[in-house]
């Protein structure tokens, strides 16, 4: 161990705007603020120390955000979630292993934690070589192959993700062939070729993705820990809806719908704001979380300026969105694991479109399985589901409460639980 008084923990993430950096910050700044730990954070590109890698990362992040902002979900899925993993993933891992391992040697952590995609194989082989604990924090509910490693302990929110993780056959090339800095060129080329054979030529039987919409037959014994919703301190606070409504100038008789699109903003919010024009409810207030998307705020206010059968309010970037989530009756959101966890902790039912990128489909499956909200297919279905949520709101809240009772109920309990898992890993 690097220091008897301090355990050095390296958190690896990427600035991708899809939950990875958010979770890295939650871990570093809140959950792991413990006298036992020294926390260091690096992005994947910082570990590689390669300007080209940083440029490529920025390019694919910009492309993803562009596609999602315009609601081009299928295109984002095909080009980034699937084609990049099917074709570029093995090449990237082969080319990065030496540089990444050399930087890790210099940092010399006692525990390695990764919240990002695509780095698990390189990080896992280094951790195995140095015999230190390695943790993959899965920030979505569904998983791709690069978030599953035989060398890792997988930190999962719920048991459904564990089932997905353990459904991959570790006999396939991606897991059975080790990549290290000493791997010869012939071995690297062989790995790429066998990977492409397994997952491109034989794609019908070897899928790179698992949703949580079914029970899979276990095919590996990957180590996993279930910890429940993992969020910041503020999300665990118990709030009184009436007090929040008074503070936000919302009447107790208002029907309030909060539309959230994460950091993407864009067409999602305006599309569903327009869809609510046919929803005739007394005292309907639609609140749009615009974040830093100034164009979205302008478009929203333009729509609100027209004669509508509802009131519209816009929120810029605020640090109390969690309170707004607790104050409203329904959260209409782009599906994601993050919004699912935050809505659950706010005790507010979710309303999600069924159309979602692969990495977000787990949120839809989870909401439907436990009936924590509703999912809709089109405008007519949207209106029907809103009325159902309003008519049976207390029933949805009771289901949320029943599910949350299985997991840590306070931030302090959650933090202590994860710290115990990390400390225990050093004893084995």
Average pLDDT over every residue of 274-297: 83
pLDDT at 17: 61
Average pLDDT over every residue of 323-344: 95
Average pLDDT over every residue of 261-272: 78
pLDDT at 145 > cutoff 90: yes
What whole-number distance in Å separates Cα of residue 281 and Cα of residue 254? 9
Among residues 84, 94, 100, which one has the least CA distance to residue 174?
A: 94
What is the number of residues in the chain? 428
pLDDT at 276: 86
Proportion of the chain above pLDDT 90, given as a percent: 73
| 8 Å CB contact between 339 and 331 | yes
The helix/strand/coil state of 314 is strand
**Mean pLDDT score across all residues of the chain:** 91
- Residue 22: how many other CB atoms lie within 10 Å: 19
| 8 Å CB contact between 153 and 136 | yes
pLDDT at 3 > cutoff 60: no
Of 150 and 379, more confident = 150
pLDDT band at 413 (very low <50, low <70, confident <90, very high): very high
pLDDT at 98: 94
> Angle, to 10 degrees, between the axis of helix 337-346 and the axis of helix 361-370?
30
- Of 9-23, 72-86, 319-333, 345-359, give the lowest mean pLDDT range: 9-23
pLDDT at 264: 62
Which residues, in sequence order, are CB contacts of 184 under 8 Å at separation 6+? Answer: none
Q: What is the pLDDT of residues 45-55, one digit of tens each?
A: 999 988 888 88
Among residues 328, 337, 367, 338, which one has the least CA distance to residue 350?
A: 367
C-alpha 341: how far from chain center: 10
pLDDT at 307 > cutoff 70: no
Q: Using a CB cutoff of 8 Å and minimum separation of 24, what contacts does 249-254 make?
A: 250/285, 250/327, 251/283, 253/282, 253/283, 254/283, 254/284, 254/285
- Of 104-108, 111-115, 212-216, 296-300, give the lowest mean pLDDT range: 296-300
pLDDT at 280: 74
Buried b (16+ CB within 10 A) or exposed e, 190-221: ebbebbbebbeeeeeebebbbbbeeeeeeeee
């Amino acid at each position: 161990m690097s220091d008897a008084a301090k355990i050095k923990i390296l958190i690896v993430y990427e600035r991708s705007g899809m939950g990875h950096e958010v979770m890295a910050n939650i871990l570093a700044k809140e959950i792991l603020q413990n006298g036992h730990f020294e926390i260091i954070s690096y992005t994947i590109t910082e570990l590689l120390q390669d300007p080209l890698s940083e440029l490529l990362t920025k390019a694919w992040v910009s492309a993803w955000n562009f596609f999602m902002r315009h609601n081009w979900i299928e295109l984002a899925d095909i080009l980034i979630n699937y084609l990049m993993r099917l074709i570029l993933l093995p090449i990237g891992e082969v080319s990065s292993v030496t540089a990444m391992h050399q930087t890790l040697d210099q940092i010399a952590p006692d525990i390695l934690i990764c919240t990002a995609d695509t780095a698990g194989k390189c990080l896992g082989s280094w951790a195995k070589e140095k015999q230190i604990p390695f943790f993959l924090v899965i920030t979505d509910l569904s998983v791709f192959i690069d978030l599953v490693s035989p060398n890792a302990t997988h930190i999962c929110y719920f048991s459904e993700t564990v089932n997905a993780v353990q459904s991959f056959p570790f006999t396939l090339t991606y897991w059975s062939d080790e990549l290290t800095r000493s791997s010869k060129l012939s071995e690297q080329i062989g790995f790429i070729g066998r990977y492409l054979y397994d997952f491109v030529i034989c794609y019908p039987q070897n899928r790179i993705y698992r949703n949580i919409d079914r029970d899979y037959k276990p095919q590996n014994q990957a180590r996993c820990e279930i910890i429940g919703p993992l969020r910041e301190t503020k999300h665990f606070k118990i709030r009184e809806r009436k007090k929040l409504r008074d503070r936000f100038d919302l009447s107790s008789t208002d029907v309030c719908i909060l539309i959230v699109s994460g950091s993407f903003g864009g067409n999602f919010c305006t599309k569903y704001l327009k869809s609510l024009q046919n929803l005739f409810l007394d005292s309907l207030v639609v609140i749009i979380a615009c974040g830093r998307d100034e164009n979205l705020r302008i478009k929203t206010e333009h729509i609100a300026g027209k004669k509508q059968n509802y009131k519209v309010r816009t929120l810029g970037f605020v640090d109390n969105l969690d309170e707004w989530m607790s104050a409203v009756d329904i959260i209409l959101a782009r599906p994601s694991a993050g919004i699912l966890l935050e809505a659950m902790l706010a005790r507010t039912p979710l309303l999600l479109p069924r159309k979602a990128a692969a990495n977000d489909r787990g949120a839809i499956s989870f909401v439907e399985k436990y009936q924590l909200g509703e999912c809709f297919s089109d405008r007519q279905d949207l209106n029907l589901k809103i009325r159902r949520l309003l008519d049976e709101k207390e029933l949805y809240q009771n289901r949320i409460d029943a599910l949350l009772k299985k997991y840590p109920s306070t931030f302090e309990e959650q933090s202590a639980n994860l710290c115990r898992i990390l400390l225990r890993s050093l004893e084995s």
